[in-house]
Amino acid sequence: MTGQMWLASFLCLAMTFSGVLGASYTQTESISGSDFYDAFSFQAISDPTHGRVNYVSASAAKSANLTYASSNHFVLRSDFKKQLSSSGPGRDSVRIQSNNQYTTAVMIFNIRHMPQGCGTWPAVWTVGGNWPNQGEIDILEGVNDQSPNQVTLHTNAGCTMPSSRSQTGNAVLNDCNVATTNNAGCGVKLPSSQSYGPSFNSNGGGWYALERRNSGIKVWFWPRNGGVPSEVSSGAGTINTSNWGTPSAYFPSDNCDIASKFGPHNIIINLTFCGDWAGSVYGSSGCPNYVNNNPGAFTDAYFDFAWLNIYE
Ligand SMILES: *[C@@H]1O[C@H](CO)[C@@H](O)[C@H](O)[C@H]1NC(C)=O
Ligand SMILES: *[C@@H]1O[C@H](CO)[C@@H](O)[C@H](O)[C@H]1NC(C)=O
Ligand SMILES: *[C@@H]1O[C@H](CO)[C@@H](O)[C@H](O)[C@H]1NC(C)=O
């Protein structure tokens, strides 16, 4: 081998390894307080999943204090004051979508509080156009205060997950294809009850991180008091996900071509009520009536974000 050839194969090998191991990123956005108003747009649309919700515009949300920003708080909530008529629109709430789109990137959400209350269906997720062909990643999602959190991918046909893989959570279903799973997707339930709902809130929340690479998608959750890497909690300018330990949920690319199943994604933060999922697991207990008649039950139905950092 000539010196040059040796150097070429060494570089090639080094690049292969850095593709597998090295996962170092630089911060490109740091969003807190009123930055959320610039980074996200309000979507006053009707709920595609049939929730008892009425998504309002930015001006309506601000004037009713359904969103509120201070230096290090961004609060997003539903109305908790109005008695609703069963024939009228659902409870006022907010759905925001990021103006930027992301492909391979890391997103870290520092969340102090998430919506809780019967019938609530909050979500922090990312999604591409022409659903499900560009994929969907549910980072934080659940219903009716039921802990733990479940992280889920939704795709078109041809994306499955190995039943055994390196994660601390428990796989629920391994076929991500929405058509074969009645839209359930491939989910992973997190090991910690502090990952969702009242337990998340009483502990002061925590950090959720999504790493999307073509070799795999990972989500970590660290509760407020539980072993978060200092580069995560401090919002460091550069991070290296190789040092973060086993993820809570891991979706490798072995039987799923992530580069083609997941297109450019927007981040969406929404809070709906009942609907296809929350309504069906709420049983026969009259979920819409509960949402209509009990505004006071939704005083804790709010997100409080300390910040959102993006790394690419
Ligand atoms: C990231 O961390 C891994 C594991 O500690 C290390 O091998 C790698 O060199 C680091 N990458 C960079 C770019 O610092
Ligand atoms: C709210 O979020 C969940 C998250 O997966 C989604 O299924 C649902 O369609 C969303 N609702 C609206 C109106 O955006
Ligand atoms: C608006 O909401 C914020 C956050 O929940 C709260 O601190 C503030 O007191 C509210 N303002 C009014 C006028 O209700």
Check if the beta carbon of residue 311 is closer than 8 Å to that of residue 27: yes
Average predicted confidence (pLDDT) for the chain = 89
Task: Report if residue 300 sits inside a domain.
Answer: yes
Residue 51: Cβ within 10 Å count: 28
By most ligand atoms within 8 Å of CB, the mutation choice from 240, 241, 243, 246 for ligand 1 is 240
Q: Is 312 a catalytic residue?
A: no
Residue 16 lies in a domain: no
Q: For residue range 114-143, what is the model confidence (pLDDT) as tens digits?
A: 999 888 889 999 999 999 999 999 999 987
CB 134 within 8 A of CB 293: no
Structural domain harbouring 33: 22-311
Residue 47 in this model has a pLDDT that exceeds 80: no
Q: Is 65's C-beta closer than 6 angstroms to any atom of ligand 3?
A: yes
185 within domain boundaries: yes
Number of domains into which the chain is organized: 1
Tell me the percentage of the chain whose pLDDT exceeds 70. 87
Is 54 or 232 the better-scoring residue by pLDDT?
Answer: 232
The dihedral over CA atoms of 232, 237, 124, 305, expressed in degrees to the nearest 10, equals 80
φ, ψ for residue 161, nearest 5 deg: -115, 140
Which ligand neighbours the alpha carbon of 277 most closely? 2
Predicted pLDDT of residue 119:
80
Report yes or no on 266 lying in a domain.
yes
Residues 142-174 pLDDT 10s: 877 788 999 999 999 999 999 999 999 999 999
What is the pLDDT averaged over residues 272-296?
68
Instruction: Name the CA radius of gyration of the chain, rounded.
Output: 20
Residue 230 lies in a domain: yes
Q: Is 13 within a domain? A: no
What is the CB < 6 Å shell around ligand 1? 21-22, 24, 240, 242-243
Q: Is 136 a catalytic residue?
A: yes
Q: Is residue 236 part of a domain?
A: yes
Q: Which atom of ligand 2 is nearest to the CA of 95?
A: 14
From the candidates 29, 136, 211, 312, which is the catalytic residue?
136
| CATH number assigned to the domain comprising residue 262 | 2.60.120.200
Ligand nearest to the CA of 122: 2
Q: Ligand 3, atom 1: nearest CA belongs to which residue?
A: 65
With respect to residue 285, please indicate whether it lies within any of the assigned structural domains: yes
> pLDDT tens digits, residue range 206-245?
999 999 999 999 999 999 998 999 999 999 999 999 999 9
